[in-house]
Amino acid sequence: MHDTVRDWIRDARHIAVLTGAGMSAESGVPTFRDAQTGLWARFDPQDLATEAAYRADPQRVWDWYLYRRGLIGQVQANAGHLALADFSRRHPGRLTLITQNVDGLHQRAGQTGTLALHGNIADDSWLDAPRQCCQPGSIEDGHPPRCPVCGNLRRPAVVWFGEHLPPAALEAAEQAAKRCDLMLVVGTSGEVYPAAGLVFTAHQAGARVVMINPAATPLDGLAELCLRETAAVCLPALLA
Would residue 81 show up in a list of annotated catalytic residues for this protein?
no
Residue 47 has pLDDT above 50, yes or no: yes
Of 84, 49, 70, 78, the C-alpha closest to 157 is 49
Q: Residue 61 is part of a domain; what is its CATH number?
A: 3.30.1600.10
Please tell me whether residues 13 and 111 are part of one structural domain: yes
Residues 17, 125, single domain; the answer is no
Length of the chain: 240
**Is 114's pLDDT higher than 50?**
yes
Question: What span, in angstroms and rounded, lies between the C-alpha atoms of 32 and 195?
Answer: 17
More confident residue, 170 or 35: 170
Amino acid making up residue 138: S
The answer to whether 68 and 38 are in contact (CB under 8 A) is no
The SS3 assignment for 228 reads: coil
Q: Give this prediction's pTM.
A: 0.91
- In the chain, % of residues over pLDDT 90: 82
**Comparison of pLDDT for 47 and 72, the residue scoring more:** 72
Q: Kindly report which listed range (39-48, 88-97, 168-177) carries the lowest average pLDDT score.
A: 39-48
Q: Which of 118, 143, 164, 203 is catalytic?
A: 118
Nearest in space to 237 (alpha carbons), one of 32, 42, 1: 1
Do 128 and 11 share a structural domain? no
List, for residues 147-201, the tens digit of each pLDDT value. 999 999 999 999 998 999 999 999 999 999 999 999 999 999 888 889 999 999 9
pLDDT at 1 (0 to 100): 82
Range of the domain at 227: 1-28+76-118+165-240
Domain count, the chain: 2
Three-state SS at 55: helix
pLDDT of residue 34: 53
